[in-house]
Amino acid sequence: MELVHEFTFRAGLKPPLPVGAGPIGTRMYYEIDGGEVVGERLSGTIRGGGEWALIGPDGFLRVDVRAQVETHDGAFLYVQYFGLLEMNAAVMGAIENGTGTEFTDQYFCTNPRIETGDPRYSWVNTTFFVGEGRVLPGLGIEYRVYRPSRGAAG
């Protein structure tokens, strides 16, 4: 399968609100504090959302995000993605020190699903996306998001 870069997703996060330890791990909530989507066919501003992160005993954070995006031309998109983030030494150090990581420093993969009722962007409703992530300096994340080179959105 060949993948085509579709857009980059960058989001700032507010400090986490700890939900606490539960039967399957420690849950934290991060409110999205702005951000942007930048791509040739899709660009805009993140208009809110959050992450309900679950850190398991296996050292992986289960990503669970919902966000709203307003495109540069006034369409609204709902974005939801799940994924895995390896909470290794590079990630822990970046979070503790306010520095960032590179895409190769950790296993950080997502599967964004995008929905809209705007006919100009209907192609996102039938496109499978996959992303690779990294931690940004401060408190934020960045994903490079790809789609298969063939199919409904090709």
Q: What is the pLDDT of residue 85?
A: 98
Calculate mean pLDDT across residues 139-153.
87
Cβ-contact 87, 61 below 8 angstroms: yes
Q: What is the pLDDT of residue 150?
A: 75
Q: Which residues, including other chains, have CB under 8 Å from residue 26's CB and lie 6 or more apart?
A: 18, 19, 20, 54, 55
pLDDT tens sequence across 18-33: 999 999 999 999 999 9
Calculate mean pLDDT across residues 5-10.
98
pLDDT tens sequence across 58-96: 999 999 999 999 999 999 999 999 999 999 999 999 999
Q: What is the pLDDT of residue 26?
A: 96
Calculate the average pLDDT of the chain: 96
Q: What is the pLDDT of residue 46?
A: 98
Helix, strand, coil percent content, the chain, rounded in steps of 5:
15, 60, 30
- Residue 91 tokens, joined: 């990630």
Angstrom distance (rounded) from CA 101 to CA 104: 8
Q: What is the pLDDT of residue 152?
A: 54
What amino acid is encoded at 141 in this protein?
Answer: I
pTM: 0.93
Confidence of residue 151 (pLDDT cuts 50, 70, 90): low
